């Protein structure tokens, strides 16, 4: 008997055999994907991560092997040695790359048996996600998951290679640290040696990367896990991976150039050529044109049409004469029935007293001139859907002293964002009709990147009744807005930017404050006393005093990038071992209670109820 297991150099991959291998000896190892018993012939589809090859066991040629093949079940791990044979033309399987050949088995070994799995990697109907996550190792054997994880690997390698070539060092920063400034809830780790003290898992390496600039590593990056204890939405995970970077002495444009470069490399790894530079738009413009700070540019922007109505028309319509009147156009939706128009209404959230006119035909009847101008100004074709969002003539009270709004006033902001949300909801509802979300194969159309710049420095926190950092408190305000820090915080703009793709925020960053006196002013503007600031970030404030170069950076979500490249619906499709929406790992069953002894050692008592 051949001892072929001892000679791994002769092992082939299950997806690698081709017609040109006919006549050669080959050794395949993998899982039984499927077994078909045709009496004298047993066919085994043997699978590894590269694909599937058909192995034939012929009773007449080799009764012993045929008998062994009869014992095989799904997901047994098997080694087969044999001769590659060209298949008869009428049995060629055109659907798989190895479909022209088969391996005629001369040796067969069962390397391991398998229990009948709760579902099979080859099943066409997916089981429910809970089962997939509980038996993740089976789920990961599926072709789609193998593809996603390989893609993730390729993307990460491409980014590393690109950044390393640009002179960036990958530097690790601690996981057991103290609270970082991203503003979500921390995951805490109790200290045994200092009972009652806790580490926090980093929400990002923000302060460490800034300290690395102070330490002289002028170009840093890290593909790094971050931890945020937030209420999970569909596209969030409690631990997620960022491509985090920081540079000394950059203008914002330099950071953008680096990001465009590594995204180019990442997309290329997925076979997609994108063309930087990405367009840029200020936050104000994004709000005015798209009602969103992450515009999806695959659909037309909104059009401000207030001027097309005479003041008395606005009054008749019960529309504010001072707030924006926005026309939303969704191409190719076609004429809507009355019922369809009714279906639109719940998609609209009348934020801050905004108003929806979903029946454009009726407007057309009552205000033919205005309607025809609106058609022209929006560039509408006859089968495009137009709806109008305006401010109510009696707008809601806005009690707060401000909001997310440099220049854009708060009431305006409410109308813009109500319109923006409706635009997206309509775009999703009628995706089949306008087809703008379908991939065309042209990357310039399929991947609409955008830099959104000049974000507001502060956001009004309605709950806390105070100003909060819109990005984080280490973000530098615009030089020209420094004098408004005290007098008009809502108008201060930051050197902060987001990179957006098809309406999704891929990442955020900023040029940082590098001077201690300015940092102190920002803390003050955020309502933090000197003592509070020292207690939270004292080590960092001190570091700023020891010769800090100007610096800036950004962080992008790797999971999301891979999700988009994979065309996946959820982050869980591209994270090998993700958590559920309740932050549970169903495979290892975490989190769990721990033993009394462990708690005691940590000086922790769990309160019941």
Residue with Cβ nearer ligand ASP (53 or 510): 510
CB of 578 to ligand ASP, least distance (A): 19
Query: Please, which of residues 339-378 interact with ligand ASP by CB under 6 A?
Result: none
Applying CB under 6 A, the span of 36-44, 170-178, 422-430, 547-555 interacting with ligand ASP comes to 547-555
CB of 244 to ligand ASP, least distance (A): 6
CB of 226 to ligand ASP, least distance (A): 7
**List 363, 554, 562, 566, residue binding ligand ASP (CB under 6 A):** 554
d(CA 506, CA 504): 6
Task: Give bridge partners of residue 328 from the DSSP assignment.
Answer: 387
User: Considering the rule CB under 6 A, would residue 555 count as an interface residue with ligand ASP?
Assistant: yes
**List 62, 204, 210, 390, residue binding ligand ASP (CB under 6 A):** 204
Rounded-to-10 torsion of CA 459, 462, 463, 464? 60
Residue with Cβ nearer ligand ASP (411 or 472): 472
d(CA 320, CA 118): 60
| Phi, psi (rounded to 5 degrees) for 131 | -65, -40
User: Considering the rule CB under 6 A, would residue 206 count as an interface residue with ligand ASP?
Assistant: yes
Residue with Cβ nearer ligand ASP (33 or 180): 180
Query: Please, which of residues 375-434 interact with ligand ASP by CB under 6 A?
Result: none
d(CA 38, CA 4): 28
CB of 327 to ligand ASP, least distance (A): 34
CB of 294 to ligand ASP, least distance (A): 14
d(CA 556, CA 551): 17
In 10 A of CB 295, how many CB atoms? 25
CB of 508 to ligand ASP, least distance (A): 5
CB of 291 to ligand ASP, least distance (A): 23
Q: Are 367 and 316 in contact (CB under 8 A)?
A: no
Give how far Cα 477 sits from Cα of 204, 250, 500, 536, Å: 21, 15, 21, 21
Six token digits for residue 281: 């738009």
Residues 6+ apart with CB under 8 A from 241: 223, 224, 225, 226, 557, 558, 559
CB of 149 to ligand ASP, least distance (A): 24
d(CA 241, CA 226): 6
Six token digits for residue 173: 């920063």
User: Considering the rule CB under 6 A, would residue 182 count as an interface residue with ligand ASP?
Assistant: yes
Residue with Cβ nearer ligand ASP (240 or 523): 240
User: Considering the rule CB under 6 A, would residue 509 count as an interface residue with ligand ASP?
Assistant: yes
Phi-psi region of 465 (alpha: psi -120 to 50; beta: other; left: phi over 0): left
**List 510, 513, 528, 578, residue binding ligand ASP (CB under 6 A):** 510
Applying CB under 6 A, the span of 55-63, 272-280, 373-381, 550-558 interacting with ligand ASP comes to 550-558
Applying CB under 6 A, the span of 25-33, 100-108, 299-307, 553-561 interacting with ligand ASP comes to 553-561
d(CA 332, CA 137): 44
User: Considering the rule CB under 6 A, would residue 508 count as an interface residue with ligand ASP?
Assistant: yes
d(CA 276, CA 260): 6
Applying CB under 6 A, the span of 337-345, 552-560, 562-570, 573-581 interacting with ligand ASP comes to 552-560
CB of 476 to ligand ASP, least distance (A): 11
CB of 554 to ligand ASP, least distance (A): 5
CA-nearest of 202, 272, 209 to 241 is 202
Residue with Cβ nearer ligand ASP (62 or 222): 222
Six token digits for residue 421: 């949300």
Phi-psi region of 107 (alpha: psi -120 to 50; beta: other; left: phi over 0): beta
**DSSP state at residue 603:** T
In 10 A of CB 397, how many CB atoms? 9
Q: Which residues bind ligand ASP (CB under 6 A)?
A: 182, 204, 206, 508-510, 553-555
């Amino acid at each position: 008997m051949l001892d072929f297991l001892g000679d791994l150099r002769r092992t082939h991959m299950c997806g690698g055999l081709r017609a040109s291998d006919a006549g050669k000896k080959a050794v395949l190892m993998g899982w039984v994907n499927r077994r078909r018993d045709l009496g004298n012939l047993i066919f085994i589809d043997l699978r590894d991560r590269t694909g599937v090859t058909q192995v034939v066991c012929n009773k007449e040629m080799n009764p012993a092997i045929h008998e062994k093949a009869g014992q095989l079940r799904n997901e047994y791990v098997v080694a087969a040695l044999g001769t590659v044979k060209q298949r008869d033309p009428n049995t060629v399987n055109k659907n798989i790359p190895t479909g022209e050949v088969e391996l005629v088995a001369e040796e067969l070994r069962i390397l391991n048996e398998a229990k009948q799995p709760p579902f099979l990697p080859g099943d066409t109907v997916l089981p429910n996600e809970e089962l997939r996550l509980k038996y993740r190792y089976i789920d990961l054997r599926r072709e789609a998951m193998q593809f996603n994880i390989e893609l993730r690997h390729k993307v990460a390698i491409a980014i590393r290679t690109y950044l390393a070539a640009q002179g960036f060092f990958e530097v690790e920063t601690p996981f057991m640290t103290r609270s970082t400034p991203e503003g979500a809830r921390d995951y805490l780790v109790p200290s045994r040696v200092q009972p009652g003290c806790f580490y926090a898992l980093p929400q990002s390496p923000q302060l460490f990367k800034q300290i690395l600039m102070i330490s002289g590593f002028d170009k840093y990056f890290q593909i790094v896990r971050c931890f945020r204890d937030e209420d999970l939405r569909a596209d969030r995970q409690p631990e997620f991976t960022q491509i985090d970077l920081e540079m000394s002495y950059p203008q914002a444009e330099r950071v953008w150039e680096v990001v465009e470069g590594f995204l180019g490399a990442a997309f290329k790894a997925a076979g997609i050529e994108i063309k930087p530079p990405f367009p840029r738009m200020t936050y104000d413009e994004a709000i005015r044109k798209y009602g969103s700070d992450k515009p999806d540019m695959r659909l037309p922007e909104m059009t401000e049409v207030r001027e097309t109505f005479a003041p008395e028309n606005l009054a008749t319509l019960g529309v504010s004469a001072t707030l924006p009147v926005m026309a939303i156009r969704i191409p190719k939706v076609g004429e809507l029935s009355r019922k369809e128009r009714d279906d639109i209404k719940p998609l609209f959230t009348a934020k801050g007293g905004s108003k929806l006119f979903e029946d454009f035909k009726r407007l057309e009847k009552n205000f033919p001139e205005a309607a025809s101008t609106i058609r022209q100004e929006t560039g509408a074709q006859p089968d495009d859907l137009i709806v109008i969002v305006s401010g109510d003539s009696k707008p809601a009270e806005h009690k707060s002293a401000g909001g997310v709004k440099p220049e854009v006033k708060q009431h305006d902001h409410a109308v813009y964002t109500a319109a923006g949300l409706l635009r997206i909801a309509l775009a999703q509802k009628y995706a089949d009709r306008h087809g703008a979300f379908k991939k065309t194969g042209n990357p310039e159309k399929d991947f609409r990147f955008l830099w959104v710049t000049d974000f507001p420095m502060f956001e009004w926190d309605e709950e806390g009744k105070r100003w909060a950092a819109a990005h984080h408190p280490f973000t530098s305000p615009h030089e020209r807005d420094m004098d408004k820090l005290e007098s008009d915080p809502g108008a201060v703009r930051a050197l902060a930017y987001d990179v957006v793709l098809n309406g999704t925020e891929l990442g955020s960053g900023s040029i940082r404050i590098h001077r201690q006196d300015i940092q102190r002013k920002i803390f003050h503007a955020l309502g933090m006393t000197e003592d509070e600031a020292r207690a939270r970030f004292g080590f960092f404030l001190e570091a700023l005093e020891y010769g800090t170069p100007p610096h800036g950076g950004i962080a992008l979500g790797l999971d999301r990038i891979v999700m988009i490249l994979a065309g996946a619906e959820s982050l869980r499709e591209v994270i090998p071992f993700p958590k559920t929406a309740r932050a549970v790992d169903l495979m290892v069953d975490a989190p769990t209670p721990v033993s009394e002894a462990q708690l005691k050692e940590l000086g922790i008592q769990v309160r019941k109820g």
